[in-house]
A and B are shown apart, each in its own frame.
Chain A
Amino acid sequence: EDQVTQSPEALRLQEGESSSLNCSYTVSGLRGLFWYRQDPGKGPEFLFTLYSAGEEKEKERLKATLTKKESFLHITAPKPEDSATYLCAVQGAAGNKLTFGGGTRVLVKP
């Protein structure tokens, strides 16, 4: 069974204070690892897909990286608008469903 664990559960940052979120996973044959952002009262919004170890993707202040056991979401010089819950999910080779981690709640204070 696919498993995803995210840490920390919550993160409080000052504006401009860079940090990283961790996503550890076990999956039988990784088809894709996904990062989503979720704002309060809304559905998750897609950020990145990573397919294989060593891959990196960037979008504005966010950079996602992938190894064989974990993924990191780096937030560089965050702004208050980066405050959200960040969700990690994996899709294994066995099917088409995504298994999500518990998420990391990020609060960026001005």
Chain B
Amino acid sequence: DAGVIQSPRHEVTEMGQEVTLRCKPISGHDYLFWYRQTMMRGLELLIYFNNNVPIDDSGMPEDRFSAKMPNASFSTLKIQPSEPRDSAVYFCASTVLRHSGANVLTFGAGSRLTVL
């Protein structure tokens, strides 16, 4: 299994530009999570999906952020327009619900975003 695949690995853009981050979860996993990691705030949950349906988007900072999951093998996180404070590493993670109810997340390698 190739694991959770994220692209791009690095993105440098200018303020005001649109940014799209992509994620391919592990086949068979029915939960997908988007997290953001910064030195100041650590790992923060932005949104998560179950069976392609958004369940909790309370962590999405503002309307500039949007996430979609058009099918079980693909998700996008879009920032439009981007701002310097959006600079962070964005992680995608996936899991399948276990009998215990505890979710062991498998993370991708992350997308490092720098907004100038």
Contacts of B35 in A (CB 8 A): 100
Q: Number of contact residues on B: which range applies?
A: 20 to 34
Q: Which of A11-19, A63-71, A90-98 contacts B (4 or more CB under 8 A)?
A: A90-98
Given contacts A96-B48, A96-B97, A98-B45, contact A43 B102 (CB under 8 A): no
Interface contact tally, CB-CB below 8 A: 61
> Do the beta carbons of B103 and A98 come within 8 Å of each other?
yes
> Do the beta carbons of A91 and B103 come within 8 Å of each other?
yes
Q: Number of contact residues on A: which range applies?
A: 20 to 34
> Do the beta carbons of A95 and B104 come within 8 Å of each other?
no
Q: Which of B61-69, B80-88, B107-115 contacts A (4 or more CB under 8 A)?
A: B107-115
Where the two chains meet, the residues of A that have a C-beta atom closer than 8 Å to any C-beta of B are 31-32, 34, 41-46, 49, 51, 87, 89, 91, 95-103
